[in-house]
Structure 1
Amino acid sequence: MSDNTSQKFIQTIETRFGELEFQSGYPTAETVEKLYDELDFQRAVQVYLWSNIMASFGAIRDEYSRRGASSFDALLYEQSAFPAQLVLTANNDTPYISGAMDLNEGPIVMEVPAELVGPIDNIWQQPIVDVGGPFGPDKMQGGKFLILPPGYKEEVPEEYFAAQSDTRTAVWYLRAIPKTRADFKVLADHMRTLRIYPLAEADAPRKTKIIEMGSTPIDSLHKEGVDYWVNLARYIDDEPARPQDMAFLGMAATLGIEKGKPFAPDERMKKILTEAATVGRAMAKTIAWKPRWPEELLYAYPDRHWKWIFVVEDPTFHTDNNLIIDQRTRFGFEAIGTARAMTTRIVGAGSAYVGAYEDAEGNWLEGQYSYRLHLPANVPARLFWSATVYDNETRSQLDNGTGRPPVRGSVHGVVQNADGSFDLFFSPERPINVDENNWVKTILDNGFFVYLRFYGPEQPFFDKTWKPGDVEKTK
C-alpha cells in the first residue's frame, strides 16, 4: 500500500459553537465531547421552555403544602393578593379561595357555593372543568364537583358534576365578584362555606380547613438554576406520562430526568443545566415581552400597544394544526392558570385581558418615568374593570412599599373625570392634584407592565368602538 492510502482523511466543519473535526467521516474524541455538550444544552433549553408551565403549578402545589394545606383544605385571600405574595399576575380585584389536590387520594368532592367562578386545572394548566361562568356545568348555581384521578373507571353517582383529570395534581382557584370594595368581607364569608372531601367520605364528610392568608408573604414562583431541574424531575416522577408529552419526556430522559429513576446529575450536567435554565429564562422573557406573532392577532387594537394575553381561544394553546408553543411559553412565564371563560371572547360573560408593556412611543415601561393611562367614559365591562401593575421580573404585583395594592379599578375607589372618563397615573411620585386612588407608585429602574381586565366585557370592547388610550409618558 502507498503512503497516501494510510493517511488520515480529516474533514473540518465550522459551526456557531466552534470547529468540529471528523476523521474519515467519524467524529474525533474532542468533537464527540463538544457535540454532546451542545446537544444536551440545546435539549435542556427546550425542555425548560416546554416545562415552565408545569413547573409553575408544581411550585404552587409545593408552596401550599409548606403552608400545611392538604388536598382537602383551602387557602382564602379575603382581600385578594398582596404585593408580598409572589404569585404570577395575581390581582387584587376580588377575594379568592384556592388549593391543590393530590388525586392519588382518590376521587375528590368539592361542594361549591353559588356565584363562584374559576378553573380546576391539571398540572399543565389545562382546564379539567370550569366552575361557574359561561362554561361551568353548574351555571353559577354551585353544586358538587367530583374530580376523578387519571384512569378512573368506576361508575360515578349522578348528583355530581364529574370531571376526569389526566394528571395526579389538580390546582384550583375560585373568585367571587364584588360590586364595591365593601363587598369583600361578605363574599369571603360566603366562600368559607366551600367544602372539600374524599368521595369515600361522602356520607360523613370531614370538615374543610380554611387557611386565612391575609397579607402573609408567600413565594409560589418556580426555582431557577439546578433547583429548577431537581423539582422538575420530581414533578415528572409524580405524574402520569401523557401521550402528547412523550417527545419532550424523551429529551428530558437524555438529561437524566426520567420517571421511576433517581435524578443524580454529575458536575458536567449540572453546569449544562444551570446555563440552560439561565438561557431558557431569557428566551421565555423575550417570547413574553416581544412575541413573534402576526400583529393583527397579537394587538388588541391596530393603533394601540395593548396586546392580547390570550391570542387564541383554546386554553390549551392548540390550533387545528399544532400546539402554539411560543404562546404557551409566553403565558407560562408571565401568568398562571387557564379557563375557557378566560380565553373565549363572549359578549357580557367571562373576562377579557389585554396587557401593556410599552408606552405610546413603543418604549418599554420603566419605573423612573411618569405615565398616564386614559380610559374613555363608559368602560365596556358589565361587572367591573381593573388596571393592575406588575413587576416584570417577578410577574407579581409591584411591591412598591406603600402598603397599597398596585391596582385601580371600578371597585377600588378610582375617581372619574367630569365626562365619565378615567385617568390613571404610574410614577415614582404622586402627581400634583391627582387623587391617591388614581395613582400607582412605581419603583426606580424597575420595569413594569399593566394588565387591563374586563369582567363581563361588552360589545363596544369587541367591536372596538371603545378603546383605551396607550400608556403615555408624561413630564
Structure 2
Amino acid sequence: MKHFTLSLALAACLTLPAGVSAQSGETLDLTEAQMEELVRRSYQYVAMFNVNQKGALDPDNPQNTGGYNRVKPNTELADHTLRVIARPNNDTLYTVAMIDVTEEPVVLEIPAFDSTYVSLMVTAYDHYVNIPMSTTKGDFDEPANILFFSERTPGYAGEPVEGVDMIVETTGDFVSAVFRIMPHAAEPERLERNLAAMRSVDVEPLSEFLGQGGDKAHVRSWGSPRVVGRNLDLRADTARFPPYGSDFEIFEDRFIEVMQFVANHTTFDPNDALDAGLLAVLEPLGIQPGKPFDPDTAPEIDGDELRAVAQRVATEELAKFGDQDFLDNNLTGLFQPKGQISLERQVFQSVSGPIGQPADQALYPAILTEDGVPMNAMHDYEIVMTAEEMPPVNAFWSATLYENETGFFIPNDRFKYSVGENAGFKLDDDGGIRIVIAAEQPEGVPEENWLPINLEDMDLDIIMRLYAPDLERYESWSAPIARKLN
C-alpha cells in the first residue's frame, strides 16, 4: 500500500485558489512534485492511449487497421516509415486486431500457424500485458476463437458461448490484440503458410459471429440484465476520441480531456495499489470514472510545465538503459499483467517503447558500450558473440538499432535495422557472430551482419529481443557489449 498512501498525501496537498473548485475552469496551482506524481502515475495511460489510437485510426501509420473491430495483417517486416511507436519490432511479423467492446462482445477468430513462435498479446489503455495464447503454452496448433468483453459491455457477463474456446474480460473497452509471428523467412513454403494464416485472422461482433445479421437484441436476453455502471450514458460518445499524438502533446495540450476519457473506459480495482493511487491524484483535477468531459467547466493546469516535467521524466527513464544494475534487477519484471508490476517498472516500459511481452515470452536486454558512454553515429562499433555466448533462446533472437532520442529506425537504402534470423544474419564457421554498426560496410563483414548509420552526431542504442528465452540459462548469461572501432 506504499503507493496508495503516497498518492493520497499528494492529492490532499493540492493547492487550489480560494473558492475555486476542480470544476470551475480555473488554473490549478500544482507544485513540480505534484506534477511529477501526475506524470508518473498517468504515463502508462497516455502512452497506450496514443498507441492504441494510432493502431486503429492513424492514416500515417502503415500498420493501422482502419478502425476498431478490424484486422490488419502486416506481411512485411517494419521499416523506417513506421514512426508511431518508439523502438518498434523488425524481427517478427505482426497481425493487429483493434477491438472495441463498448456495444457488444467481440470474437477474435484465430487459425492454426506453422511457426516456432507465435504469441497473442492483449493490452488496453492501462498498459498491463496479457498473453492469452502462445506457442510456449502449446497454442496455435489448432484454430481457436476468443471472446472479449469488459465490465461495461452491455448485456453480457461472461456466459459460455457455443463455438467460443476462450473468454477474456479485458480491463478496458478499447484494446489491441497483437499477434507476433516468426515467419520462417528462410523457408519459402513455410513462410507462405504463415502469411496465409495471418491473412485469415478475423474479428466479429458476437451478433455476427452467431449469425444474427447484426441484430444485437439477443445479446441482452442472455441471463439477467447486466449492470454496466456509470458509463452507460456515455455509450453514444464512445465513437468520439480525444485527439491523439505524441505523449508530450497530450501532457501539454489535453491531459485532463484524455485522462477523463481513459477513466471512462478502464476498469479500476479499488484494492489495487496503482489503481487507487492514480484515482487519488486524478480526483482533485475533477477526473472520475463515468464523468463526461466538459471543456467549459473542466479545470486547467499549466500544460507547458506539465510537458516539461514529462520530458524530464522520460529523459531519466531512458537513461536507465545505461544502468546495468537497473537492467539486471528489472528486465525480467517488465510487461506484466495487472497486479504483478511496480509503478517504477511501468513508467520505464511506457517511456522506453510500449508495448512488449513478459519475460516468459520475450526479454529485451540492451547492448551497452565497453566504456559506458552511449553509442554515437560519429563512430563505428562491433558486437561479437562466440558460439558459447549466443543468447539463450528456445525460439530466436535479434539485435535492433535505434536512434536514441526518438526510438525510431535509422533510415537507409538497404532497409536494414536489425540482425537476426528473420531480418537476416550470417554465423561464423564456429557458430558465433560479429555485428558491425558503421556508415560503410566493412571489409570482411557479411552484408547481413552490417547495420548502416549516417555519419552524424546522433546517439544510438541497440536492443536485443530474446523470444521464448531459457530463463534458467539467462540467469548466468550476459548481453554482449559494443566496442568502438574508430
TM-score range, shorter chain: 0.7 to 0.9
TM-score of the superposed pair, with normalisation by structure 2: 0.74
The structural deviation recorded for 1:74 is 0.9
Aligned residues: 409
Flag the 1:140–1:43 CA change in 2: closer, same or farther, 3 A.
Answer: farther
Q: Deviations over 1:59-91 (max 9, x none)?
A: 133221244633321122111322111223221
Whichever residue aligns with residue 196 of structure 2, its letter is D
Gaps of 5+ in 1: 1-26, 208-218, 301-307, 345-349
Flag the 1:256–1:184 CA change in 2: closer, same or farther, 3 A.
Answer: farther
Q: Deviations over 1:312-338 (max 9, x none)?
A: 26704756xxx5211110001112235
- Aligned partner of 2:411 in structure 1 is 400
Choose which of 44, 61, 65 in structure 1 pairs with 2:52.
Answer: 61
Whichever residue aligns with residue 462 of structure 1, its letter is Y
Whichever residue aligns with residue 425 of structure 2, its letter is V
- Aligned partner of 1:108 in structure 2 is 106
Q: Deviations over 1:331-377 (max 9, x none)?
A: 011122354xx323xxxxx3332112x31111112222111111222
- Aligned partner of 1:254 in structure 2 is 284
The structural deviation recorded for 1:196 is 0.7
Aligned-partner SS, 2:136? coil
Note if contact 1:122-1:170 (Cα within 8 Å) is conserved in structure 2. Answer: yes
- Aligned partner of 1:383 in structure 2 is 395
Aligned-partner SS, 2:102? helix
Whichever residue aligns with residue 404 of structure 1, its letter is F
- Aligned Cα root-mean-square deviation (Å): 3.4
| Stretches of 4+ aligned residues off by more than 6 angstroms | 265-268, 291-294
TM-score of the superposed pair, with normalisation by structure 1: 0.76
Note if contact 1:79-1:92 (Cα within 8 Å) is conserved in structure 2. Answer: no
The structural deviation recorded for 1:100 is 1.8
Whichever residue aligns with residue 420 of structure 1, its letter is G
The structural deviation recorded for 1:40 is 4.9
Flag the 1:241–1:420 CA change in 2: closer, same or farther, 3 A.
Answer: closer
Mapped partners of 1:469, 1:240: distance in 2: 41
Note if contact 2:148-2:168 (Cα within 8 Å) is conserved in structure 1. Answer: yes
- Aligned partner of 1:312 in structure 2 is 333
Flag the 1:185–1:336 CA change in 2: closer, same or farther, 3 A.
Answer: farther
- Aligned partner of 2:144 in structure 1 is 143
Mapped partners of 1:410, 1:112: distance in 2: 25
The structural deviation recorded for 1:153 is 2.0
Give yes or no for the alignment of 1:324 onto 2:342. yes
Give yes or no for the alignment of 1:351 onto 2:362. yes
Give yes or no for the alignment of 1:97 onto 2:95. yes
Flag the 1:118–1:38 CA change in 2: closer, same or farther, 3 A.
Answer: same
For the pair shown, which has the larger CA radius of gyration, 1 or 2?
1
The structural deviation recorded for 1:39 is 3.0
Mapped partners of 1:391, 1:184: distance in 2: 30
- Bigger shift: residues 359-368 or 115-124: 115-124
Mapped partners of 2:259, 2:393: distance in 1: 39
Mapped partners of 1:409, 1:192: distance in 2: 24
Mapped partners of 2:447, 2:436: distance in 1: 10
- Aligned partner of 1:273 in structure 2 is 303
Gaps of 5+ in 2: 1-14, 21-26, 60-64, 215-243
- Higher percent of residues as strand: 1
Whichever residue aligns with residue 365 of structure 2, its letter is V
Give yes or no for the alignment of 1:130 onto 2:141. no
Flag the 1:140–1:40 CA change in 2: closer, same or farther, 3 A.
Answer: farther
Give yes or no for the alignment of 1:286 onto 2:316. yes
Whichever residue aligns with residue 305 of structure 2, its letter is E
Give yes or no for the alignment of 1:177 onto 2:182. yes
Aligned-partner SS, 2:333? coil
Correspondence 1:66-77 to 2 at 5 A: 66-67=58-59, 69-77=66-74
